[in-house]
Chain A
Amino acid sequence: MSDATTARFAPLGWRALLYKEVLRFWKVAAQTIGAPVLTAVLYLMVFGHVLEDHVKVYGTFSYTAFLVPGLVMMSVLQNAFANSSSSIIQSKIMGSLVFVLLTPLSHWGWFFAYVGSSVLRGLIVGVGVLLVTLFFAVPPFAQPLWILVFAFLGAALLGTLGLIAGLWAEKFDQMAVFQNFLIMPMTFLSGVFYSIHSLPAFWQQVSHANPFFYMIDGFRHGFFGVSDVSPWISLGIVGSAWLVVSAVAVHLLRIGYKIRG
C-alpha cells in the first residue's frame, strides 16, 4: 500500500482535526452561532413586517413563511463558508497551521475535517435560525428529505469554497473581498427574499446562472413542495458544482498551495 494510501486511511488523524475545528467554533458559540441566528431573526422581523401584506408567493403562503427557508439556507451557506475560511486564514496568519502541517494527515484528511466542521456549523446555525423563526411563521415541511439534502449539499459546497478561499488568501482583506464581493452578493441575489418569478425575464435568466439560486430553491421546495425549478435540476447543478469545487480543493491541498513552500 502506498504512503498516500496509508495516510488517506489513517484511522483517527482526520477525526482529531474535525474535533479541533468543531471545538474551535463551539468555544466562541456566541459569535459563531448566536450572532448569525440573531441577524437572521432581525431580517425576518424587518422584511416580514414591511412586506407581509404586499407580497404573496406560490399563491397561498404568507411572505414571512416564504422567507423562513430562505433565511435558514442563507445562514447555513454563509456560516459554512465563514467556518473553513476564517479557520484557515487565522491559523495561517498566526502560524499555528504548522501544527497540522507537521502531521501525517493527508490532503483527504484535511478536506474531510475542514468541510465536515463547516457543514456541522452551517447546520447548527440553520437549525437555530429555523427554531427561532418558527415563532413567527410555520412553513409546511412538505418534503423533508429535500430539506436535508440541500442543507447538506449547500453547506458542503460553501465549506469547500471557504477552504479554497482560506488557502488562497494571504491577508484578512483578501478574504473580505472574497466574502463581500462574491459570497454575499450571490447569496442575496439567489432568491432568499423573493421568488425569481417576480423578477423581469432578463433578471430571471441571470438568476439561473447563479448556483446559489438552486441551493435555496431546492431547499425551499422541501418546505413548500413547489419551487421555481425542479428540485432534481437543482440537485444536479448543486451536486455537480460541489464535485468540481471539491476536486479543486483536494488538488490545492495535495500540492500544498500557499501552505508548503
Chain B
Amino acid sequence: MPAIRFQSVSKTYALPHDQGAFRALDDVSFDIEEGEFFGLLGPNGAGKTTLISILAGLSRATAGQVSVHGFDVQTHFADARRQLGIVPQELVFDPFFNVRETLRIQSGYFGIARNDDWIDELLHSLGLADKAEANMRQLSGGMKRRVLVAQALVHKPPVIVLDEPTAGVDVELRQTLWQFVARLNKQGSTVLLTTHYLEEAEALCNRIAMLKKGRVIALDRTSELLRSAASNVLRFKTDANLPWSLAQHARITGRVVQLPAQDAREVEQVLAQLREAGVAVEDVEMRKADLEDVFIDLMAGEQTPLEVSR
C-alpha cells in the first residue's frame, strides 16, 4: 500500500464575476511509496500547494481521490490526518503562547496528553531548546519556521509533508532541518517535499514529480531525470545581450549564462553564434547538467494551455 495515493485528482475554482472556471489541477495521479523522499516541483501556480491542501483536508478535490496509508482524506479524515505531519508554507503562529505550550497544545489535538519527552527531543533536534519558554512573538522568522516543523512532527506522523520549508531561511536552519528530516526518513518516515531550491531536491529526493499548470509533466527517479537531460552545460560570463536563438534556452543569472551543450560540436556551434553576434565572453567552462537544467528544459518544452472553461 502506498504512503500517499493521488488518483485522478482535479480541482476547479470558479472565477469571480461569472468569468468561468480555473482548473488548478487536471487529472493528477501518482503514488508515493512508504519510506520515499519524494519531491514535488513546479513553478509558482503549478498546483503544488493546491495538491497538498487537498491532501491535508484544507481543500476538497473537485474530482478524484487522495488517500494516506489507505485512508481516504475525506471519508476517513481523522485516520488520514493522524498519519500526516504538514509544515505549511506560510509563516503562521499563535501569538498567545510560548513554544512549549504551542507544542503541547498541538500534541493534545491528536489525543496525546503526556508528550514532553518527544517535545524535548524535537526542541533539541531543531535547535529550539533555549527558546522553549519564549513567546512565539519574540522569535525570529527562522525560529518560527523551526516551531512549524516541530508542530508538524509532534504526533510522530509516518508521513511528513514539507511545503517550501526553506523559503527565506538561513543556511544554518536549512542544514539543521535537512539533517533532521533525513534522519527521520532513514528511520522509515515518508517525506513529500515541495521546494523552489532544486539543488535541495536533487540532493534529497529519490523520486520527483514535476507539475506545470496543474498537470504532471514528469515523474521519475531523480537519477533518471538527470540522465534524460543534456549531459553537459556550457557556462560563461558576459555583459552583452544574447541572440534570441540562444537566449530562449539559456539560464541567465546576472552576468552568468548557462546553455545546454551535448558535445564539442554543440559547444563550437554556440561559440560561433556568440562570435557572430559580437558577444564577448569570459570564464568559459563546462559542467554536468543538474536538476535545474532538467526543470528548465521540461518547463520550456511542455506547452500546457491555461484551462479556462465556460
Which B residues touch A256, using CB under 8 A?
60
The stretch of B74-82, B209-217, B297-305 that contacts the partner chain: B74-82
B43 contacts chain A at the CB level, 8 A cutoff: no
Nearest B residue to A101 via CB reads B58
The interface residues of chain B lying within 8 Å CB-to-CB of A20 are: 97, 105, 108
Q: Give the CA-CA distance A260 to B60 in the complex, in Å.
A: 8
Report if B244 contacts A (CB, 8 A): no
Interface window among A4-12, A156-164, A186-194: A4-12
Encode A1-29 as 1/0 by CB contact (under 8 A) with B. Answer: 00110110011110111011001100110
Q: Give the most central of A16, A96, A104, A106: most B CB within 10 Å.
A: A104
For A95, the chain B residues whose CB sits under 8 A away are: 88, 90, 92
* In the complex with contacts A96-B92, A104-B77, A261-B60, A23-B101 CB distance below 8 A: yes
Q: Are B57 and A23 in contact (CB under 8 A)?
A: no
Residues from 27 to 68 in A contacting B, C-beta threshold 8 Å = 27-28
List 20 additional A-B contacts (Cβ < 8 Å) besides A10-B111, A15-B108, A104-B79. A13-B110, A13-B111, A16-B105, A17-B109, A20-B105, A23-B97, A27-B96, A27-B97, A95-B90, A95-B92, A100-B109, A101-B58, A102-B81, A102-B88, A103-B81, A103-B109, A104-B77, A104-B82, A105-B109, A261-B53
CB distance from B13 to the nearest CB of A (A): 8
Task: Tell whether, in the assembled complex, residue B60 and residue A102 are in contact, meaning their CB atoms are under 8 Å apart.
Answer: no
Within 258-273 of B, Cβ neighbours of A (below 8 Å) are at: none
State the CA gap A17–B104 with chains docked (Å).
Answer: 11
Contacting residues, chain B, for A96 (C-beta < 8 A) = 92-94
Given contacts A102-B58, A106-B78, contact A12 B92 (CB under 8 A): no
Q: In the bound complex, how far is the Cα of B101 from the Cα of A15, in angstroms? A: 14
Contact A261–B59 (Cβ < 8 Å): yes
Q: Which 9 A-B pairs have the closest CB atoms?
A: A16-B108, A104-B78, A7-B78, A95-B92, A261-B59, A103-B109, A3-B76, A12-B111, A96-B94
Number of interface residues of B (CB under 8 A): 35
B56 touches A102 (CB 8 A): yes
Against A, the Cβ 8 Å flags (1 = close, 0 = not) of B50-77 are 0001001111100000000001000111
What is the CB-to-nearest-CB distance from A27 to chain B, in angstroms, rounded to a whole number?
5
A260 touches B57 (CB 8 A): yes
A10 to B110, CA, bound (A): 9
Instruction: State whether A102 touches B78 (Cβ < 8 A).
Output: no
A12 pairs with B79, CB closer than 8 A:
no
A98 close to B60 (CB less than 8 A):
no
Cα–Cα, bound, A20→B94 (Å) = 10
By a beta-carbon cutoff of 8 Å, the part of chain B in contact with chain A is 53, 56-60, 71, 75-79, 81-82, 84, 86, 88, 90, 92-97, 101, 105-113, 151
Complex Cα–Cα for A15 and B110 (A) = 10
Within 8 Å of chain B (Cβ to Cβ): is A240?
Answer: no
Contact B113 A104 (CB under 8 A): no
Residues of B close to A19: CB separation below 8 A:
105, 108
Cα distance A24–B136 in the bound complex, in angstroms = 13
Using known A-B contacts A10-B78, A16-B108, determine if residue A28 contacts B96 with beta carbons closer than 8 Å: yes
User: Which of these, A7, A23, A98, A105, contacts B92 with CB under 8 Å?
Assistant: A98
Nearest CB to that of B97 among chain A residues? A23
B94 A99 Cβ-Cβ under 8 A:
yes
Interface residues of A in 70-119 (CB under 8 A from B): 91, 94-96, 98-106
User: Which chain A residue shows the least CB distance to B77?
Assistant: A3
Specify the chain A residue showing the minimal Cβ separation from B75: A3
Bound CA–CA A100/B101 (angstroms): 15
Indicate the member of A3, A17, A102, A261 with the most B CB atoms within 10 Å.
Answer: A102
Q: Which of B76, B96, B106, B110 has the most A CB atoms < 10 Å from its CB?
A: B96
Interfacial chain A residues near B53, Cβ < 8 Å: 261
Residues of B within 8 A of A11 (CB): 111
Q: How far is it, in angstroms, between the C-alpha of A10 and the C-alpha of B109 when the chains are bound?
A: 9
Most chain-A CB neighbours within 10 Å: which of B60, B77, B112, B113?
A: B77
Residues of A within 8 A of B109 (CB): 13, 16-17, 99-100, 103-105
A148 to B79 CA separation, bound complex (whole angstroms): 39
**Within 8 Å CB of B81, what residues of A?**
102-104
How far apart sit A10 and B88, CA to CA, in the bound complex (Å)? 24
A23-B96, A24-B96, A102-B81 are known contacts. Are A260 and B110 too (CB-CB below 8 A)? no
How distant is B220 from chain A, measured CB to nearest CB, in Å?
Answer: 30
Which of these, A3, A104, A106, contacts B110 with CB under 8 Å?
Answer: A104
